Structure 1
């Protein structure tokens, strides 16, 4: 880890990233004119934070002064640690942006690839948008105003753009595809999974895998927040589930929530219940068919009438999801060897 301490940091350096062939693009809906939202006054402390933020980004050549006809306002919100988080209100621009159709990584594929290994680690990347350059012609669209009267435009992809997550996912997929046998990516998360092989212990293999992941991160100026990383665990939380050598199991907190759920009193209540139950159903054999009477209540133009068959279906589904019998109801997803 010490060899790569430069890529595991809470405060990565501000710098212009290399051009990797993937730039953030903003394609506007035909007929769109100017996306402008007025900047509101802000308290002095926020103004000082915003000015200092842009001064630092300008020194790093990540932003420049703008004459764009587009303008989105800037404000701040408090983070859980009490510090400020800068936010750009790109609402109008996002509404006029053609949505990207980049496929979202499949949660089930990621879990299946990881299940059955011996050691796991998770890396939480920090400032994942800034490592991507903007398409030159779209830089004026990124223009943001500040309470002090400045108009800046971004040379790198800022946070707040509707297609930004899709662009970063394209980059992560491109960079880590050669390592997909042991490194899974999901937006700003990287999961590393290893087992003993070729006469090496699981830890030796895990360290070798980490070395390759860190090499890619260093070469592409990607950084992980050390405070949010997990290293060398036998079980790890991945996308709302827990993965280990035994397979995949549901998050106990969600299982607990299912067990304490009251009888739904409206379609809204039922929809919330089914959303959570659908998350857990793959771990419970016999779930298929139980939800049919409940789903019927959500059909268009259906009157809400909670009857005996609905209560029975609700009780059966609750039991199947919340109190699975490990021998009969739980289905553990095993990774194919």
Structure 2
């Protein structure tokens, strides 16, 4: 695991653009000479940089997300190749956030290990420790925590439908028996969340769709030695006109939602 040291600040601004990021202080007006944090397209710009300079390694022995670089396979040789690229483009790492030769680590809020991708235990505990919500804010907090684990939860939207109904009745809050049952079933489910795996180039992937009346859900898997392994779950509540879609249209929507999630996570 490698983390760039103030990655955005390692991209120098074009001279003509420096005036666009000027700021006023009590001792005068100043401007950035390197790309500052907070610019609308800063993240996308940095992503393009690392995608470009590591284009020969991404998907082979490296995965990149903004300024975090996860490594695997032939570790020493891969590190040598990576450091060569970093030196060439004068990019610096933050040694306090780098880890080499480890069996796993936390990445984007998930636990990445040799076995696969595991849900962050702290996110699971946050739900398990919750008491039954007594107001709208607590229900919103619950649904937010469910969303953070949604790729690990089969039909997460369907499991959350009772909570969404509560949120639609803001002025008349009522945590009824259906909500309590869904809450208890959810806790039981997340206490034993599955392991996710990453697809490999050339894998045949299998997609299973579910289209109940109020949501669309899917699960993407890969097969290894006759055993299907979970890549992730996707689920979406149907809003407005989507609820009136014909079955074939719901199927198309499920495909679009799944493809969008795959593009954002692969």
Which segments of 5 or more consecutive residues in structure 2 lack a partner in the other structure?
201-266
Greater per-residue strand proportion = 2
Distance 1:127 1:265 in 2: 42
Moved over 6 A (4+): none
TM score, norm. by length of structure 2: 0.68
Alignment of 1:223-302 (within 5 A): 223-285=92-154, 287=156, 289-299=158-168
TM score, norm. by length of structure 1: 0.55
Distance 1:336 1:155 in 2: 40
Change (3 A) 1:286 1:139: closer
Q: CA deviation at 1:301?
A: 6.6
Q: Does 1:189 align with 2:36?
A: no
Q: CA deviation at 1:265?
A: 1.5
**Deviation by residue 1:155-177 (Cα, 9 ceiling, x = unmatched):** 32123433322221221222222
**Any idea what SS the aligned residue of 1:264 has?**
coil
Bigger relative contact order, structure 1 or 2 (CA pairs below 8 A, ≥6 apart)? 1
Name the structure 1 match of 2:31: 153
Alignment of 1:108-187 (within 5 A): 122-147=1-26, 149-180=27-58, 181-187=60-66
Aligned length: 199
Does structure 2 retain, via aligned residues, the 8 Å contact 1:287–1:320? no
Q: CA deviation at 1:314?
A: 1.1
Does structure 1 retain, via aligned residues, the 8 Å contact 2:146–2:156? no
Does structure 2 retain, via aligned residues, the 8 Å contact 1:123–1:189? yes
Q: CA deviation at 1:292?
A: 1.3
CA RMSD between the two structures: 2.1
Alignment of 1:35-74 (within 5 A): none
Distance 2:185 2:175 in 1: 15
Distance 2:66 2:151 in 1: 23
Greater per-residue helix proportion = 2
Distance 2:189 2:28 in 1: 58
Distance 1:334 1:129 in 2: 30
**Deviation by residue 1:200-250 (Cα, 9 ceiling, x = unmatched):** xxxxx1111111111111111111111211111112211111122221111
Does structure 2 retain, via aligned residues, the 8 Å contact 1:286–1:320? no
Name the structure 2 match of 1:336: 199
Does structure 1 retain, via aligned residues, the 8 Å contact 2:136–2:166? yes
**Any idea what SS the aligned residue of 2:69 has?**
strand
